[in-house]
Amino acid sequence: MAGNRIVVYKGPGQVAVDTIDYPKLEVPSAVSQAKGLTRKADHGVILKVVSTNICGSDQHMVRGRTTAPVGQTLGHEITGEIVEKGSDVQFLEVGDLCSVPFNIACGRCRNCKERKTGICLNVNPDRAGSAYGYVDMGGWLGGQADYVMVPFADFNLLKFPDKDQAMAKIRDLTMLSDIFPTGYHGAYSAGTTTGSTVYVAGAGPVGLAAAHSAQILGAAVVIVGDRNEERLAQARSFGCETVNISEDATLSEQIDQILGTPEVDCAVDAVGFEASGHGRGAGEAPATVLNDIMTVTAAGGSLGIPGLYVTGDPGGVDPDAQEGTLKVRLGLGWAKSHSFTTGQCPVMRYNRELMMSILHDRAHIADAVNATVLPLTDAPDGYRDFDQGAAKKYVLDPHGELASV
């Protein structure tokens, strides 16, 4: 069998497309040994990757802001066609086109049975929860590749009902693997409902997905905050209000100018630990967004926090930040009776319903995040431009199947 091209982290600011062996129906040896799984994955499939996206979470690794080792393979946003399946795969067939939740889940542990698939107990020797191509997640190969192995396929994969219909909407459907459910999770867990006023911190792809999700959930006003004017313009393109946090006015003052009140009903943190402070020339301040959303959310409101926070950040601004210890005003959140939801989005809680919203033209997530297709060989360019603040969601096309769609 031919080799497998795959995107690999080469050191801070550097990625390359390397060639490795074609994947096998095997689980990583570390997972097998620690969790008592058979190495052979008869429950798995090999996918030909149809589309795979560059994520802001990948960018944290590529910037050198995690403990990812050189050689880490990348890519957890995957859509693909089954080209091989194990003997224990009962309900999927070769040729099926499927979305892959970025959470790797066994479907058999207590957490999976409770639909907490972001914290599966059997797929990572180090902690609950796993993902493809990510640091400290069990050693599963990344999906920014020609081919990828997906374990526990009957449980994990979301099969599209009609392949031709799916390919016609593939730029939207490719977002089901992560950012659309993640953005929706942020808005939903913040309590967004009919008539809500919502603040979304961050106008990157997840923030834009959260903003579009808030609209789907019935929000009256969605306000998106960022320092990047190009990304704020993208938010305005589908009906959001915006605030630029590099201005001297406080966030509360800017929200007051839009709503006539300095508070919103609920808020979403779609930034995470590499947050910047307010005002012109402000530097990194990793607790800023968490404190902001407590400040501007009304008493009794909820906060959705899909933005990534880590336990190891070599580039943190101080020793506390380097271990994920941040100066968060928890007393403020307590005094205002706020509810917080953090952690990996459990993709399977939402992906089927969001698929239906795409297939029936209720959601237009590709337009909201400005989906932009690149060949796999251009992945380094995509990482560079994304890091420089491009208002685009880069979709990699390993086999040239999206070029004419």
Q: What is the CATH number of the domain that holds 203?
A: 3.40.50.720
Which structural domain, as residue segments, surrounds residue 79? Answer: 4-178+346-397
Q: Note the pLDDT of residue 279.
A: 87
Q: Note the pLDDT of residue 4.
A: 97
Q: Are 302 and 330 found together in one domain?
A: yes
Q: Are 158 and 126 found together in one domain?
A: yes
Task: Flag whether 229 is in a domain.
Answer: yes
Task: Flag whether 402 is in a domain.
Answer: no
Q: Are 61 and 34 found together in one domain?
A: yes
Task: Flag whether 405 is in a domain.
Answer: no
Q: Note the pLDDT of residue 151.
A: 98
Q: Note the pLDDT of residue 1.
A: 57
Q: Is 2 exposed, middle or buried (0-12, 13-18, 19+ CB in 10 A)?
A: exposed
Q: Are 280 and 201 found together in one domain?
A: yes
Q: Are 118 and 189 found together in one domain?
A: no
Token couple for 144: 């920014």
Task: Flag whether 62 is in a domain.
Answer: yes
Q: Which residue has the tokens 């917080």?
A: 340
Q: Are 126 and 213 found together in one domain?
A: no
Q: Are 34 and 163 found together in one domain?
A: yes
Last residue of a domain, one of 296, 327, 342: 342
Q: Are 22 and 144 found together in one domain?
A: yes
Q: How many domains does the chain fold into?
A: 2
For β-strands 221-226 and 197-201, DSSP reports them as parallel
Task: Flag whether 184 is in a domain.
Answer: yes
CATH code assigned at 158: 3.90.180.10
Q: Are 157 and 234 found together in one domain?
A: no
DSSP per-residue string spanning 61-109: HHTT-S-PPTT-B---EEEEEEEEE-TT--S--TT-EEEE-SB---S-S
Residues (pLDDT < 50) of the chain are none
Q: Are 195 and 337 found together in one domain?
A: yes
Which residues, at least 6 apart from 285, have a Cβ–Cβ distance to it below 8 Å?
275, 276, 277, 317
Q: Are 158 and 205 found together in one domain?
A: no
Task: Flag whether 36 is in a domain.
Answer: yes
Q: Are 187 and 94 found together in one domain?
A: no
Task: Flag whether 404 is in a domain.
Answer: no
Among residues 399, 364, 360, the alpha carbon closest in space to that of 165 is found at 360
Instruction: Record the pTM.
Output: 0.97
